[in-house]
Structures are given as structure tokens and as C-alpha cells.
């Protein structure tokens, strides 16, 4: 999602210097152009980045549990982080086991709920940062 350019600003700076020994003046012109994205764009992108990392951890943990991975090293780290993220949803559904493979529903529920919550926050930022129409007519 690329930012839309909402405003362009161009500044022209002119400076004139005269050299006493040569008797002539030098004029320097500098142009600067700034392109501004919509307000709140960086905040929205930061939230999507954090949400993507949370969803990635939950998805990896879910796959590790389905595949009955040994809880050592990286798998243990992912299980601890995902356990903290999905803790509010533990006990909503019973964890199912089939042939030693664990289907851990709190990871799935957390993935859905946190994704929806992130989308909601991004939409609220977009609404709050939207330009407002002003009525400049005098009565």
C-alpha cells in the first residue's frame, strides 16, 4: 500500500552575495520539493507490521503443535511467545488431539481476533487523520 501524495510543497531560496574584490554578485537558487503522505500513514504501517509479526508467531506455533514438534530451542521460544499472545483465549474451545498431534484452538482464535483488532485500530487512525472540511463562509 503506497502512500498517496496529498500535498506538494516547493520552496525557492534565493541568496545573493557580492564579492568585494571582483565587483560582481553571485546568485544561488535552491529548490526543495517535499511530498507529504496522508496523515497517520506511518502509524498505520507500524500497526500492520506488528500485527504481521504477531500473526506469524501464532501461525508458526500452530504448525509446530500440529506437527508435534519437540519443544526445544526455537520451537520453545515460539511456544512461549505465542502462549503469551493467545493466553486470553485459552479455554474458549477444548484442545483436540488426534494421533499425538495437537490442534490448539487458542492460536487460531487469537490470530482471528488480533487481526480484526489491528484492522479496527488502523481504520480508527484513518478516520481520525482524515482531512476535515471547514466552512469559511461568513454569516
Per-residue confidence band for 29, with pLDDT thresholds at 50, 70 and 90: low
Q: List alpha helices for 67-139, DSSP H.
A: 74-86, 105-129
Tell me what the pLDDT averaged over the chain comes to: 79
Enclosing H/E stretch for 66: helix 41-66
* Better-scored residue on pLDDT, 128 or 12: 128
> Could you tell me the pTM of the whole model?
0.66
Q: What gap in Å lies between CA 45 and CA 37, rounded to an integer?
A: 12
**How many residues are given for the chain?**
139
Burial 57-92 (b: 16+ CB within 10 A, else e): bbebbbebbeeebeeeeebeebbebbeebbeebeee
pLDDT in tens, 77-101: 999 999 999 999 888 887 777 777 7
What integer pLDDT is reported at residue 94 of this predicted model? 79
Q: Do the beta carbons of residue 111 and residue 55 sit within 8 Å? A: yes
Q: What gap in Å lies between CA 86 and CA 84, rounded to an integer?
A: 6
DSSP strand E in the chain: where? 7-18, 25-36, 96-98, 101-103
* Better-scored residue on pLDDT, 100 or 125: 125
What integer pLDDT is reported at residue 111 of this predicted model? 94
Nearby residues of 127 by Cβ (< 8 Å), 6 or more positions away: none
Query: How does DSSP classify residue 72?
Result: S
What integer pLDDT is reported at residue 124 of this predicted model? 92
| CA nearest to 115, candidates 42, 53, 43, 63 | 53
Over residues 4-19, mean pLDDT: 54
Over residues 104-130, mean pLDDT: 91
What integer pLDDT is reported at residue 139 of this predicted model? 55
Per-residue confidence band for 113, with pLDDT thresholds at 50, 70 and 90: very high
Q: What gap in Å lies between CA 49 and CA 42, rounded to an integer?
A: 10
Amino acid at each position: 500500500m503506497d502512500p498517496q501524495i496529498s500535498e506538494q510543497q516547493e520552496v525557492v531560496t534565493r541568496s545573493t552575495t557580492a564579492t568585494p574584490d571582483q565587483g560582481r554578485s553571485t546568485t544561488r537558487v535552491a529548490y526543495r520539493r517535499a511530498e507529504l503522505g496522508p496523515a497517520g500513514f506511518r502509524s498505520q504501517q507500524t500497526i500492520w507490521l506488528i500485527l504481521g509479526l504477531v500473526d506469524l508467531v501464532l501461525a508458526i506455533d500452530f504448525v509446530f503443535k500440529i506437527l508435534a514438534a519437540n519443544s526445544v530451542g526455537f520451537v520453545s521460544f515460539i511456544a512461549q511467545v505465542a502462549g503469551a499472545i493467545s493466553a486470553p483465549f485459552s479455554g474458549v474451545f477444548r484442545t483436540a488431539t488426534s494421533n499425538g498431534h495437537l490442534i490448539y484452538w487458542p492460536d487460531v482464535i487469537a490470530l482471528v481476533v488480533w487481526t480484526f483488532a489491528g484492522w479496527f485500530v488502523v481504520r480508527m487512525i484513518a478516520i481520525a487523520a482524515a482531512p476535515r472540511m471547514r466552512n469559511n463562509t461568513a454569516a
